[in-house]
Amino acid sequence: MSTSSQATNSSRAWLRFKRNRGALVGLVLVCVVALLALLAPALAPHPPDVPYKSRTLTSRGVPIGPERAFPLGADSLGRCELSRLLYGGRVSLAVALASTLLLAIVGTGIGIASGYFGGLTDTVLMRGVDVLLSFPFLLVCMAINKTVARPGIWVLFLVLGFLSWTGLARQVRARTMQVRSLEFVTAARALGATHSRVIFRHILPNVASLVIVLCTTLVAEMIIVESVLSYLGVGVVPPTSSWGSMLQESDPYMRSVPRLLAIPAMAITVTVVGFNLLGEGLRDALDPKS
């Protein structure tokens, strides 16, 4: 009855995680980035969208480099680069996390339904996945952005969430079929358990670790997709800024002020590496079989 034996599954996973140096690095990176984004209002030296032109642009309009008041210098419009980076991180992370949450719900639901019920349900859902996968992703994003009256973060969130669950659904389906064939599911059915009981008590807990692992790496993917879309001008639109839209704004200054491109690119890289390391660490810890 000791708590140690009750927590065995998770404590063993934590032991495996702790021994994995890459996983710990990933965890630290993700925590640091998340904290910086969360505390942006407190940490940012300036409001992110105020141009301090007289102080930050030279007479020929070139943004100044790092100095005391502007630790990362100014951007092309004379705004504080550090403040924009911190606030942009909020947007990038929020969009990535929210769309991952959405795709996790949709993908897990459809994957479990498909794998558990099989037959016609499975055929219909999986052909739906095939159709969705055949959509050219960028084109769909652009089309939606052009047709929606007020494009913005929420469009991006919905588009990412509803178009990216297919891979997750396929993997969850495969794992569900595997779990369903195990005898404890037959035992539950022999006891007269309803489908919803079998799904929520037995299937879901046994696919949860797979979903957590996949979603961690999907957050990284969503950050990249968000920045690509914003860079192409179909993602986050001004005045909101994200790391991707910072890249887009700095594009004309690639040669003259490369720092403006390098800073958000570094932020994206660090975050993506962090989430990927964390995801791999979680895979080794939670899902050692795969």
Partner 1 sequence: MGYARAATVSDLPLVRIENLSTHFSASRGPFRPPGVVRAVDGVSLEVFAGETLGLVGESGCGKSTLGRSLLRLIEPTSGKIFFEGQDITKLSQRELRPLRRKMQIVFQDPFSSLDPRMTVRDTVAEALEIHGLAHGRVALDERVAALFAKVGLRPDQMNRYPHEFSGGQRQRVGIARALAVEPKFIVADEPISALDVSIQAQIVNLLKDLQEELGLAYLFIAHDLKVVEYLSHRVAVMYLGRVVELALARDLYDHPSHPYTRALLSAVPVPDPEHKRERQVLEGDVPSPLNPPSGCAFHPRCPIVQKGLCDVSAPPLVALRARPTHQVACFKAEDPASAATQPVAAP
Written as one letter, the residue type at 124 is V
Closest to partner 1 by CB, 130 or 183: 183
136 binding partner 1? (CB under 8 A): no
Nearest approach in angstroms of CB 286 to partner 1 is 11
Closest by CA to 132, choosing from 174, 168, 95, 178, is 168
Q: Before 239, cis peptide (omega within 30)?
A: yes
Q: How far is the CB of 176 from partner 1 (least distance, A)?
A: 14
Q: Is 256 in the site for partner 1 (CB under 8 A)?
A: no
Q: Within 10 Å of residue 269's Cβ, how many Cβ atoms?
A: 12
**Rounded Cα–Cα distance for residues 160 and 230 (Å):** 12
Q: Which of 250, 282, 274 is nearest to 264 (CA)?
A: 250
Smallest distance, partner 1 to C-beta of residue 168, A? 20
Half-sphere exposure of 218 (CA within 13 A, CB side): 25
Nearer residue to partner 1 within complex by CB, 21 or 201? 201
Closer to partner 1 by Cβ: residue 33 or 203: 203
Work out which of 67, 201, 254, 290 binds partner 1, going by CB under 8 A: 201
Return the residue of 13, 188, 232, 270 that touches partner 1, per CB under 8 A: 188
**Number of other residues whose CB lies within 10 A of the CB of residue 53:** 13
Per-residue interface string for the shown chain with partner 1, residues 202-231, x marking contact by CB under 8 A: x--xx-------------------------
Q: Which of residues 46-75 bind partner 1 (CB under 8 A)?
A: none
128 vs 37, 155, 159, 264, CA distance in Å?
37, 22, 16, 37
Task: Assess 6 for contact with partner 1 (CB under 8 A).
Answer: yes
Site residues for partner 1, 72-111, by CB under 8 A, read none
Min dist. Cβ of residue 189 to partner 1 (A): 6
Residues 156-185 that bind partner 1 (CB under 8 A): 182-184
User: Is 120 near partner 1 (CB under 8 A)?
Assistant: no
Query: Least Å distance between CB 208 and partner 1?
Result: 8
Nearer to partner 1, 12 or 21 (CB): 12
Structure tokens at 54: 């007289």
Query: Is 285:13 a contact under the CB 8 Å cutoff?
Result: yes
Nearer to partner 1, 132 or 193 (CB): 193
Residue 238 as a binder of partner 1 (CB under 8 A): the answer is no
* Residue in the structure block whose two tokens are 């020929």: 60
Helix-strand-coil split of the chain, %, nearest 5: 75, 0, 25
Say which residue the tokens 């195990």 belong to.
Answer: 182
Coil, helix or strand for 74?
strand
Among 186, 256, 269, 290, binds partner 1 (CB under 8 A): 186
Binding site for partner 1 (CB under 8 A): 1, 5-6, 8-9, 182-184, 186-193, 197, 201-202, 205-206
